[in-house]
Amino acid sequence: MYAYDELDRTLINERVSEFRDQVKRRLSGELTEDEFKMLRLQNGVYLQLHAYMFRVAIPYGTLSSEQLRRLAHVARRYDRGYGHFTTRQNIQFNWIKLAELPDALADLAEVGIHAMQTSGNNTRNVTSDQWAGVAPGEIEDPRIWSELLRQYTTLHPEFSFLPRKFKFAITASEHDRAAIKVHDIGLRLHRNAAGETGFEVLVGGGLGRTPFIGKTIKPFVHGHDLLSYVESILRVYNQYGRRDNIYKARIKILVHELGIEKFAQEVEEEWLQMRDSALAIDDSVIEDLRSRFSYPAYEKLPHMPDELKKAAHDPHFEAWRKNSVFPHKVPGYAIVTLSLKPVGGPPGDATADQMDAIADLADKYSFGEIRVGHEQNLALPHVARRDLPVLWKALDKIGVATPNVNLVSDIIACPGLDYCSLANARSIPIAQELTRRFANHETANLIGRLHINISGCINACGHHHVGHIGILGVEKNGEEFYQITIGGRADEKAEVGTLIGPAVPYAEVADVIEDIVEAYLALRARPDELFIDTVKRLGVEPFRERVYATR
């Protein structure tokens, strides 16, 4: 965990009081809605279909139990008793009153949580691997660098009014859990031949109306140069990114229009003029940041304790353990994913009571730490393996032990037309219906790893382009239709999915997905050939045939 110091605390308190003044000026009419809009967006406040929506940042997906309890408090005190975890390590509250927002922010600030730049045309919450610091084989903890970037991007005087939103993601593992290739800047931490820490920098990835996979702009930027290099990218983008059309304003379009070579050259020229500026980071700065992260005092524990051997006789426990428990870098410990995808539930939602209970369990079994992943699930990152059986019972009791992690019912979905003013179609009821269709655990296990992503409009908050199966809601003559893509993925082999055919009406979506899955089961070469690999091998055609033969 990163511990805020007096400076961090002062800054977020100053931000809260500034926002309190902005709200006051809006309520008194001194600010017009147009003027206020940008100011509230800078602080994560959207006006949605029914109410204001409030998006709170969970930088690089790390929460303390105290922070999670405070999120529960906000859900209870200012909202309707629940929150929604998003695909970018944020939590959203859907029923906030504008006049109460400054108080909610002040409550959050007390535990070092903020909503700065969770929307608006600025640098958004810096996201990272939810297993950072605990994943086996990780090069080093990427959260040190994420925190460096969090501070650097917070209230940046030059880049708070960019052409469009701007998202960073960082990974330090071979397997990319942070989806860095679909971010404006993706950073892959690695070491050069001299053993120095640096980053492969990718630029111009993003989804939305025009999806692009990020391109490598520089294979190795030394850690010392990270901020100056990032500032060069942002400066080129701030000056030359398009501002005439919001659909062409993301950096991906600038990179595409200039070409990566030309864009890289512009950045390089800018960078050479400032790499030795005050932005150069020396090791002592990194060490100072590192020293403010605390790590658990792990015990020496057995890999296969008696408790675990005993529990192995319970098939329900075993089903959960095989699905939701992952290897930890320290022997005797495990990473436990908490599924926020119960059968029939809206993906990513948690009630205030669940949040409180999870915070208590984190205190008891995970050194007080909780993680949030882009798949809209939570994780307890440091669980002693001997505690798994008792933890499972507790998690099951509060409804977060559905053994469907990475399976077909572990669906990523945006809020869709049930909440969002941008949406063309509903997302949540589609997800709910699919979880019911695939509720049988044996069937889901037989199908194996399969990611379904649902977006209620072209803005792609549900990342449908990079779902193994992507579902995109569109509107046709006042009715909800859905385009289906297959073959997308968001990891280190990121790819944009391919459309399988004409859009289908709302009522047929679940049938179509079942057809696709059945086709896969019939077509796969071996039981362990994953859906995504079968699509890669055979292409879209056999799936298209199956789906449209009878439609």
Partner 1 sequence: MPLVKHGKVTTDTFVHVADDAEIPGDGAILISAARFLEDAEGLSGRVGRTGVIWPNNRDVDDLVRYLDRLAVVALVFPTFRDGRAYSQARLLRERHGFKGELRATGQVLRDQFVFMLRAGFDAFEVKKDSDAEAFATTVKHYSVFYQPTGDGRITALHRRMQLRHSESAGQ
Where along the sequence are the contacts to partner 1 (CB under 8 A)? 5, 7-8, 10-11, 14, 17-18, 22, 30, 35, 38-39, 121, 151-152, 154-162, 235, 238-239, 243, 273-274, 277-279, 284-285, 288
Give CA angle at 312 (309, 314), nearest 5°. Answer: 140
Interatomic CA distance for residues 542 and 505, integer angstroms: 21
Interatomic CA distance for residues 469 and 516, integer angstroms: 9
Pick between residue 285 and residue 304 the one whose CB is nearest to partner 1.
Answer: 285
What minimum distance in Å lies between the beta carbon of 523 and partner 1? 50
Pick between residue 196 and residue 288 the one whose CB is nearest to partner 1.
Answer: 288
Structure-block tokens of residue 520: 């896969």
What minimum distance in Å lies between the beta carbon of 117 and partner 1? 12
Interatomic CA distance for residues 348 and 461, integer angstroms: 13
- A 10 A CB-CB count for 376 gives 25
What minimum distance in Å lies between the beta carbon of 446 and partner 1? 51
Pick between residue 157 and residue 478 the one whose CB is nearest to partner 1.
Answer: 157
What minimum distance in Å lies between the beta carbon of 414 and partner 1? 25
**Mapping DSSP to helix (H, G, I), strand (E, B) and coil, where does residue 252 land?**
helix
- 103, 187, 190, 224, 229 from 198: Cα distances, Å: 41, 9, 6, 8, 12
What minimum distance in Å lies between the beta carbon of 196 and partner 1? 20
What minimum distance in Å lies between the beta carbon of 164 and partner 1? 11
- A 10 A CB-CB count for 378 gives 26
Interatomic CA distance for residues 112 and 105, integer angstroms: 10
What minimum distance in Å lies between the beta carbon of 4 and partner 1? 11
Pick between residue 133 and residue 241 the one whose CB is nearest to partner 1.
Answer: 241
Strands 185-191 and 197-203: antiparallel
What minimum distance in Å lies between the beta carbon of 105 and partner 1? 15
- A 10 A CB-CB count for 106 gives 15
Contact 325, 379 (CB under 8 A): no
Pick between residue 159 and residue 199 the one whose CB is nearest to partner 1.
Answer: 159
Pick between residue 34 and residue 306 the one whose CB is nearest to partner 1.
Answer: 34
Instruction: Give residue 261's identity as a one-letter amino acid code.
Output: E
DSSP string, 256-274: HHH-HHHHHHHHHHHHHTT
What minimum distance in Å lies between the beta carbon of 243 and partner 1? 6
Contact 296, 363 (CB under 8 A): no
Strand partners, 325: 336
Pick between residue 250 and residue 451 the one whose CB is nearest to partner 1.
Answer: 250
**Torsion of Cα atoms, 338 then 343 then 346 then 347, to 10°:** 40
Place of tokens 């029923």: 95
Interatomic CA distance for residues 136 and 1, integer angstroms: 18
**Sequence-ordered list of residues with C-beta below 8 angstroms from that of 440, at least 6 positions apart, any chain:** none
Pick between residue 9 and residue 175 the one whose CB is nearest to partner 1.
Answer: 9
Pick between residue 148 and residue 509 the one whose CB is nearest to partner 1.
Answer: 148
Pick between residue 62 and residue 154 the one whose CB is nearest to partner 1.
Answer: 154
CA dihedral (30, 36, 39, 44) positive or negative? positive
What minimum distance in Å lies between the beta carbon of 373 and partner 1? 26
